Amino acid sequence: MKINSIKLGCRSEHSAGSSGTADSLFILFRSPALFSAGGREQLIDSGTAVIITGSYRQSFRAAHGHRLSYDCISFRMSSSDKQYMAALDIETGIPLKLADDFVMSGMIKCMKSQSLNKSRNTAEFMELSMRLLFISLSDAASRDSHDPKRSIPHLAELKRLRESIFDDPLGEWNSDLLAAEIGISRAYFHRIYLAAFGVTCRQDVIESRLIYAADMLRNTDLSVSEIAEKCGYESDSYFMRQFRQHKGCTPTEYRNNSDEE
């Protein structure tokens, strides 16, 4: 399997189809989006993954009122890779809602980090990682309706709040106010948020701001200090430390690597 590129926190809309290309895209949506395949458009939630190919018309764009955000892997499969995917009953062009998108997100981040720090084992690491992503997709496709998360109180409201955090990363996200919006205590809010998503609300706020920071590094000429300040960091060094943990490289390295892609 050949990995062409790995991009985190993408914002651009995409259209593909009928091109005859052998390359495919693995997309993990970090925000709601409108996905179109075969002339039919559907609204999909954040935490949804899909493999798209050039075999027929497929596209996606931002859902109304939301900023588009997704992670993307461009790859090319061998015949054995296609057989492996078929054995897992994975269909291309079918968006699948994940039980825990942070597991898949973490795998993609590890792949990005490995691609920036190449070693003699990088190719094997990438192929094994892609197979793990395929397994996650297969699990999502076969998951039955008895999802334990369905029993979490206020799940729909929590999902709405989480989407708002990623739509407006620079917002004033105060746990007391968020809990009050749902009508529950702060401690209970933290407990059910962690149960629903596997991370704390604060971790999501940090994640959303670092994704926004990466977007500014790619698309603006703002200095690292200016971006850190815009993202609410009083300390440049703390921002750079968190960015490195998130992206696997420094802000400057990330900007330089983005320019080369």
CATH at residue 110: 2.60.120.280
Specify whether 132 is located in the same domain as 221.
Answer: no
Specify whether 166 is located in the same domain as 137.
Answer: no
Domain count, the chain: 2
Listed as ranges, residues in the chain with pLDDT below 50 are: 17-20, 144-146
Q: Residue 54's pLDDT is what? A: 66
Q: Residue 145's pLDDT is what? A: 39
Tell which of 142, 158, 186 closes a domain: 142
Tell which of 98, 127, 142 closes a domain: 142
Specify whether 8 is located in the same domain as 32.
Answer: yes
Q: CA 133, CA 6: separation in Å to the nearest integer?
A: 13
Q: Residue 143's pLDDT is what? A: 63
Q: CA 20, CA 85: separation in Å to the nearest integer?
A: 19
Q: Residue 260's pLDDT is what? A: 57
Specify whether 80 is located in the same domain as 202.
Answer: no
For residue 218, give Cα distances in angstroms to 33, 165, 252.
22, 21, 10
Q: Which domain holds residue 93?
A: 2-142
Specify whether 136 is located in the same domain as 182.
Answer: no
pLDDT digits (tens, 9 = 90+) for 107-153: 998 898 888 877 788 889 999 999 999 998 888 777 643 455 556 78
Specify whether 163 is located in the same domain as 106.
Answer: no
Q: Residue 89's pLDDT is what? A: 82
Q: Residue 146's pLDDT is what? A: 46
- This prediction has a pTM of 0.58
CB-side neighbour CA atoms (13 Å) of 86:
7
Specify whether 81 is located in the same domain as 99.
Answer: yes
Alpha helices (runs of H) in the chain, residue ranges in sequence order: 79-87, 101-116, 122-142, 155-167, 175-182, 186-197, 201-219, 224-230, 236-247, 251-260
CATH number at residue 187: 1.10.10.60
- Residues comprising the chain, all counted: 261
Q: Residue 19's pLDDT is what? A: 46
Specify whether 108 is located in the same domain as 216.
Answer: no
Q: Residue 49's pLDDT is what? A: 92
